[in-house]
Amino acid sequence: MNKKDIKKSLIPYAFLLIFVLVCLILFKTFNYTVNEFTYDEFIKNLNGGKITELTITPKVRTNTYELSGKLDDYEDNESFILYLPYSDEFISKITAVEETTNNFKLTVKNDPEASTWLAVFTEIVPILALAGVTIWIFTRQLGSGNKSMDFGKSRAKLVEESRATFKDVAGLTEEKEEVQELIDFLKNPKKFTAMGARIPKGVLLVGPPGTGKTLLARAVAGEAKVPFYYISGSDFVELFVGIGASRVRDMFRQAKMNAPCLIFIDEIDAVGRQRGTGLGGGHDEREQTLNQLLTEMDGFGANEGIIIIAATNRPDVLDPALLRPGRFDRQVTVSLPDKNARIEILKVHAKNKVLSKNITLEYLAKRTPGFSGADLENLLNEAALLTVRRNKKEITMSEIDEATDRVLMGPAKVTKKYTDKEKKLVAYHEAGHAVMGLKLDGANEVQKITIIPRGHAGGYTMMTPKEEAFNYTKKELLESICGLLGGRVAEEVVFNEITTGAHDDFKKATKIARSMVTEYGMSSLGPMMLEEPDGNTFLGRDYTKNRNISDTVAHEIDEEMRSIINNCYEKTKKILKENQDLLTLIANTLLEEETITKEQIDYLVTNGHLPKEEDNKEKSKDDSKEDKKKKEDTK
């Protein structure tokens, strides 16, 4: 044991010793006996010569003498005390006895309370302390009262000048054109008023999360160079009824003082839901807040120079009074970006990223249909994090692929091991999707196949539409269903048994089939809207909604859906049996490589095997020659 350990081991004993000593001192100090004498007892002991020490202290304030001392049979921690009226007769008797006998020590002290400073300390200081404590408590309560009064104050944050501009908003070309009028009005309102035009009081931005609604509102304020108020819909709602309405009034009062200005309300559905809906609807506080918002936007008072921009991804639950002309006059749909818009968004987020030369943003945009702007930003950020983790100097396609899989399915479960049978089943399942994508024009195109588990899936096939379109034909929808059924059919064709791995494929295929029957009119039931488009249920409105179809029609819908799925299943089985060699080739390649990309699949279909190292070297040489030729042509 070294010296440090010895010192550490002695510390508890040292503390114990100190504790014992303190206890003894306190016991010695507080274990003190004071006997109160009467006057007769004191005179008896004084005349009997038993007093050894006597101290006389005058008390001017009480007009008494305090006498304390010891007797000859007292211990060290014992004494007596008594109080006598303020009289010189008593003192003279005691002094005479002391001079006569001279057998005790007499001490006469001055009155400690007679000191001026002590009088100030004992009388004035407590009063000042009490007054200070009272004032402190009063001001503290007053301060908390002010905070409670702040409940009705607006929570909107003021941005004097937004730094965002339209240059920071990539891909929203049409949406920027829609809000351009707002900027012109904020810069030069007289141009519109002279023509008798009324600028929209409110603009509602509708779209999925992450599409850039908030950024667009900030850019409008930045382009117009006006103050910008930002608040969330949930900031209006409080426990106490009336607080939200008070905050709305205060917000518009502040906005009038800074007009012209913009007010941006994010997630307005938190406060703007339909009134009187009961289940899942609002309460008195939310309804009063909404009523005040409606009044401020288009009531008796005029809010000149104030434009409200709100954002939501649930326009179906908003109150109709909020959407009428005079309030939110204009709705701007901020949808998911198309390929060209994704290229512009990737350019913005790739400015500070070190990308490899063989990565083109056009290729990334083609591989990411359905991604929002936030998803694309997250994709590049994940790729950058993986590059740092792998100690690389630039982001390569390997990091992009891994980042895409992480965003869509989660991290790979490398430690999860398959049995040989499971691995073969998964390989043929994913190969079935790939074959259907290759053989059907309407089916989705396979971009990547992997049999490495991710999330809840044992394997993963990344499939994207061959072309992005707004409308789909019946043939394309049927072939999409065939592509989704390819995994289950491959299991049945090869192994003559089925597994649970196709449950997500069935969910997507059933949804398409039901939409074809109930929404698109692509069945023998005719061109009829039998159901509303599937969306989020609003309990206060949709829970008690009556069904518009009979039981007979509902049975016919089920029969049509079953017919569509069964026909697609048989068609898929026929295609896979005719191309069983290609199915086996892709599956065996997956068992060896575990992950193959679209380029490898195309090479595999053409040549019957994956490219060898020599082919890769020759291809890289050809690519470098082409790059040099392009550079020379540009020069």
- Write the single-letter amino acid at 407: V
| CA pair distance 484, 320, nearest whole angstrom | 40
Q: What's the CA gap between 318 and 233, in Å, rounded? A: 12
Q: How far is Cα 129 from Cα 137, in angstroms, rounded to an integer?
A: 12
Q: Which of 332, 338, 337 is nearest to 178 (CA)?
A: 332
- Which listed residue (267, 430, 479, 560) is catalytic? 430
Annotated active-site residue 430? The verdict is yes
Q: Please give the distance of CA 353 from its chain centroid, rounded to a whole number.
A: 26
In the DSSP assignment, the letter for residue 21 is H
Q: Coil, helix or strand for 308?
A: strand
> How many other C-beta atoms lie within 10 A of the C-beta of residue 202?
22
Q: 83 - beta bridge partners?
A: 66
* CA–CA dist 153, 617 (Å, integer): 69
| CA–CA distance, 403 with 268 (Å, rounded to integer) | 33
Helix (H) or strand (E) holding 449: strand 445-450
DSSP string, 79-103: EEEEEEES-HHHHHHHHHHHHHH--
H helices of 440-544, in order, are: 474-495, 503-518, 539-542
Query: Are residues 505 and 446 in contact, defined by beta-carbon separation less than 8 angstroms?
Result: no
C-alpha to C-alpha distance for 427 and 433, rounded to whole angstroms: 10
- Active site (catalytic) residues: 430
